[in-house]
Each structure stands twice: as C-alpha cells, then as structure tokens.
Amino acid sequence: MRVFPEKGSCDVEVAWGVEARGPAPRAELTAYLADVAQVSGVFSPDGPVSWKRVPSLAPFLSAVAVAFPEPLPPGRRLTVTFAYTLSPGAAATGLAAMNMSAAPDRMYFFECWYPTIAPYIDENAFVRAGQKPPFTLTASVPVGFVFITAGELASMADDGDRVVYTYRCPAPAPFLIPFLAGKFAHRRVDAGAAAIDLYLMGNEREEETTEFTRFVARSAALQARLLGRPPPARLAVALCEVGGLARGFPGLIIVPPGFRRSWRDPAVASTVCHELAHTYFGNLVTAYGPGGNEFLAEGLATYIGIKTAADVAAGAEDALFAQLLARFMGSDTPDAPIVQIRPMQNVLSGEAYNKGALVFNELARLVGEERLWRLLGAFIARHEGGFVTLEDFRRLVREEAWPQLACFEGHRALLDRFFAQYLDSTALPWVEIAAADHRALGRCELTVRNRGDGFGLAPMGIQAGKRSEEHSLLIAPGETRSLSIARPGAGRIDCSVDPRGTFLHGVRRTSMLARAADLRRKGLIAEARAAYQDLVARIPEDGEAWYGLGRLEERAGQPARAAECYAKAAALGGQDWLPTWGWIREAGCRLALGDKERARALLRRALAEGNDTFDARREAAAALKAIEE
C-alpha cells in the first residue's frame, strides 16, 4: 500500500489465494470491496485478468466480477491480485466512510473486502466465507507520518523520503481494516492494568489524556477478568481530530473527537467499552449467518459495554439499559426476529444493538449474571479463533445453564422457550400490576397480568411504608397472578413492575403502526387490516391506530366502517392533529353515506374547536363550502 496524504488517496494491492470448490469448474469470482474503492486492475501470475463492475448485493460495498483466463477445476488454487485506489472522491457512504477524512497532515480510512468465487454472495455464509484470514500489511508513507492499522507493528524502515511500516495480524482479522496515516505523536502510557501505545494529534491536556487512557486500560482488564481471559498485553489508542463513531479492532481502538474529554458520561464510556468488547466478540470469535452476526457481535458488545462501564457514575447501568429500552420500544423500524436479520442489514438503525443487549440482560435475569459471564467465557474458549452460529450459542447455554434453572418448573424447556421467543419471534411480555388495598384485613392484594404475547421473568418493586421488597415472577402470556403482602399499618403501599426500567416488555406500538401504514400505502388491504386490527386489539385506546384503520377502510370503499374508526380516533386523540382530522375525515365518510347534516356538524366543530395542523382549517372550510353550495 502507498499512502499519499497530499492527494487524499491510498493506492492498494491485495493478493487473494482463491480455490474452486464444488463439483464443477468455476469461471469467475465476485469481489466485494469498500464502496470508496476504485479498481484499476486485476492480475494473476500470468498477467492481467478481465473484470467488470456489477451490481452489489451487499450494503456499503461495491462489486467487481472477475473472469478467470480458464475455468478453475475443483481444488485448483489461483492467486488473484487487485489493484485499487481508496479515494474520498468515490461514493463515500455507509460504514466505509464513517470516519474517513483526508487532509495534508492526516488520512483516516476504513477498508473492507469480501471475496467469493460464487457469482452471488451466499448470505448464510457471508461473514464466514469472506472473513479475512490472518494477514501481513505493508504501507509506505512520507517521512514525518505515522502509519497505524490493526495487528502488531513488526518493523519500520526508511525508504528515501518515505517510511515503510509492516504490520502482522495473526488473529482472525476484522471486517473493517483501519488505515490511519498522520503526524501522530506517540508515547507509551503505563496504565497499570495494561500498557498502552497512545497516538494523538493536536493539543492535548496531559491530565485529560492520561485519565482517559487509564479508564480504557481498566475497562479492558475488567472485561478480561469477567470473561476469564488474560489481560491484553498491549493496547493501541489513537486519538483522532475528526471522525464519527469509535471503532474497535484487535488491539486498537480509534477514538473520535470529544471522547477523551467526555468519557465520564456513561453513554460515552459504554461506547468505548463496546468497542473494547469487539476484541473478543466479532474478532476473536466471529459469528456468521442471518441474525447471529449482529446478535453475537453487536448485541453482545453493547451489553458488555454497559456492564463494564457501569462504575463511571452511580446508577449508570440501569439508566443505560433504560435508554436502550426506550429507543427500542419507541423505534418505528419494523420489528423483525433476530434470526431473520441478515448480516449488515439492520446495523445502522440500531435495532440489533438495542434489542440484542436487552435480550442478554433478560438472559442474565434468568440464569444469573455470574453464570452468564462464565457462559461467555466458555463460549470464547470453545470457539476461539473460529466461526459460530446462533445455534452454537444456544447449544452451549443449554448445556451449561440447565442446572441453574432447577427452581423453575419445566426448566429444561425454559431456555428453548426463551430463545424461541427472543430470537425466533418478535413476541414480548407486557406486564401490568394493580393493587387492591384491604386496610381492615391488614393486607394488600396485588394482581399481576401479562397482556403481551411472550413470557417473562418480571421484576416487581413493592414499597410498603419504610419496607422495600423486590420480587421476580415468571409469568406466561395471558396469565394473571395474585400476591398478598402485609400492610405496614397506615403506611402507603406503592407497587410497580420493573422499578429499574430495564425489563424488556411492552408493545412496540410505533413499529406496529409504521408497518400497518406501510402495508396500507402499498395497497395490501388484507395485510394492512390485520396489522391495524392487531394493534387496536392490544391497545384499544390508540387514536392513531384507529385513524389509520379508518384511512384503510375509506380506501377500501367502506365509508360506514371508516366513519366509526374516525369517530373513535377523534374521541381518543393522542397527537395534536387528532381529533381535528378525525372529524374532517369522518365528515367526508358521512357525506358519502348521504348524511349531510352530520357532515356539516363535524366540519363546523373542526373549525370551532380544532387544531389547525396540516392546513386543517382550510380543508374543513373548503369541504363545508362545497356542502353549502
């Protein structure tokens, strides 16, 4: 690789050893590269090889089809070398450009590639087939520049007005390979828990930087201890002046602006610890296949990030899980089972990160946190340096965790039920609690009901006068349970489900509403009707859902049904545009049914009492004028 900061580009050559497999000869391979890559040539030992750009089936990657000089017989190997340029002038979108920057004194790139000798990528083996093997990377940069990438620095050598760096990455290599070239200052920091090679640019306060690097070292050592691993021998931390999210690689964490000054913020601290966790999950153990990649890499890294950053502030852990829960439950991204999420499909929306971490939190609630850490340590030991699927993880948990669940009836089936619910479906519990106070009898009766379609180990908090209690109740969908607690005399009793706000339960109303509206816009009447009816069955008081159902029925030529839905939407309200638009829409349906008086009354009400959103007054006035004429 040759790096030219003054031009803002990297010239790269990558040699791949490819082997034809299967019963028939292979005539071509398809290479998936970062979408900032501009291919200039493809070569074999015998000379240039013909190639062409083809549509990419993978997000954030560009695709090049290479035709072999002669079809490769099964078992035959061939070295194919790609020459290309990584340039900011290319399509700088998506993951490949998250932290990309070019300036006369620095360059940051994130490069990735996936070779496959099938014409189309096999999504079931996407990561497994394309994961980079251990590699050696050589880079040439101008004198005065430092080059940093994943792996271990093997050598530095002067070459005229340039310096040549050689890195080795003996472990399975990550999906994204970082290239950083710049005028970094380098110093080694003895952080106690782990030695750190610190690379920084610009003016840094010594105290600020030292405290941050010590936090990184402590967090890395804590993760190693919890997972039963030896602490990292050395970490490289690069403090960059520009960039997006921090990115994690084996032995290297790249930190964007502001992180070293705000790491005491629990959200920032958990992000740093998330990236450190990728040393193990996503790199040391690589998940593949639909669902497994995001859940066993990003979901697990998010969970570990929160757990290992919890000491930066009191109550940080509960607050961070509560934020995840709020984001997940309030997201309008259509819900999908984890097993159906294809690699790279749902990463940027955050769904796999948020739900994945919350599912691990529920697993810790079920088997115990200490047991879960031992499970994760066993998971690494069993699959170190290899590839895993969701089924590998399920199998290990079944083997190791069953004895811990003996307190639950049917405990041998409980884990299968857990995984089927949280990974194979979108079912969730939705637990509510009500209290009936019987002062004369000296007790309070609690009624716990699960309105959802999934089971859950529901945490309940009870505050009875000065006495505080916490209970966990395993409750099935549709089940109602009763508890009785003694009253503390005349003291007040407060009861709540999930006092810490970390229990994964409820209804993803926004997601359900977005899905129903999308089906309606696509004209899929039967599917949209079922989606809306499911939502109003779960939340009969949802005015927006009734309004959407009304739009659907009106479009389907059912004005009477639509009028009923609009009337309910107007009565229930919710958003500021309801009930005004409920009255206006119902008026149109009443007019279609021949009831001019009712339509006139509704429009006048909209003008007198309504909220003028989305030109509601103009719409109502025009409709009323048409009736009067």
Do 26 and 4 contact (CB within 8 A), yes or no?
no
More confidently predicted of 337 and 386: 337
- Distance between first and last Cα of the chain: 78
Q: Report which DSSP code applies to 338.
A: G
Do 584 and 623 contact (CB within 8 A), yes or no?
yes
- The top-scoring range by mean pLDDT among 13-17, 21-25, 34-38, 506-510 is 506-510
**Statement: residue 46 has pLDDT above 70:** yes
Q: In the chain, what are the domain boundaries? A: 1-182, 273-422, 431-497, 509-628
β partners of residue 108: 101, 180
- What is the separation of C-alpha 50 from the centre of its chain, rounded to a whole number of angstroms? 39
**Statement: residue 242 has pLDDT above 80:** no
Give CA–CA dist 479/7, Å, rounded.
Answer: 66
pLDDT (0 to 100) of residue 133: 67
- Name the helix (H) or strand (E) containing 237: strand 234-239
485: tokens are 């607690």
Q: Which amino acid is at 413?
A: A
User: What mean pLDDT is reported for the chain?
Assistant: 84
Please tell me the CATH code under which domain 509-628 is placed: 1.25.40.10
Give CA–CA dist 571/556, Å, rounded.
Answer: 23
Of the listed ranges 111-120, 223-232, 290-299, 608-617, the least confidently predicted one is 111-120
pLDDT (0 to 100) of residue 121: 45
Give CA–CA dist 142/176, Å, rounded.
Answer: 24
pLDDT (0 to 100) of residue 29: 84
**Statement: residue 577 has pLDDT above 80:** yes
**Mind listing the pLDDT tens digit for each residue in 375-408?**
999 999 999 888 888 999 999 998 888 777 766 6
pLDDT (0 to 100) of residue 115: 64
**Mind listing the pLDDT tens digit for each residue in 291-314?**
888 899 899 999 999 999 987 888
**Statement: residue 423 has pLDDT above 90:** yes
Q: Locate tokens 């930190």: which residue? A: 255
Domain 273-422, CATH number (from 1.10.443.10, 1.10.3720.10, 3.30.70.20, 1.10.390.10)? 1.10.390.10
Q: Can you tell me whether residue 248 is helix, strand or coil?
A: strand
Q: CB burial class (10 A; 0-12, 13-18, 19+) of residue 259?
A: buried
Give CA–CA dist 358/288, Å, rounded.
Answer: 20
Instruction: Look up the pTM and report it.
Output: 0.85
Do 576 and 611 contact (CB within 8 A), yes or no?
yes
Domain 1-182, CATH number (from 3.40.30.10, 3.40.190.150, 2.60.40.1730, 3.40.50.620)? 2.60.40.1730
**Statement: residue 569 has pLDDT above 70:** yes
pLDDT (0 to 100) of residue 125: 46
Q: Can you tell me whether residue 102 is helix, strand or coil?
A: strand
Q: What mean pLDDT do residues 170-194 have?
A: 78
pLDDT (0 to 100) of residue 243: 64
pLDDT (0 to 100) of residue 15: 84
**Statement: residue 68 has pLDDT above 70:** yes
**Statement: residue 512 has pLDDT above 70:** yes
**Statement: residue 92 has pLDDT above 60:** no
Q: Locate tokens 């696509």: which residue? A: 522
Q: Do domains 273-422 and 509-628 have the same CATH topology?
A: no
Give CA–CA dist 308/513, Å, rounded.
Answer: 36
Give CA–CA dist 20/351, Å, rounded.
Answer: 37
pLDDT (0 to 100) of residue 14: 85
Backbone dihedral angles phi then psi of residue 185, each to the nearest 5 degrees: -90, 140
**Statement: residue 440 has pLDDT above 80:** no
Give CA–CA dist 520/532, Å, rounded.
Answer: 10
**Statement: residue 369 has pLDDT above 50:** yes
Of the listed ranges 32-46, 484-498, 523-537, the least confidently predicted one is 484-498
Backbone dihedral angles phi then psi of residue 516, each to the nearest 5 degrees: -60, -45
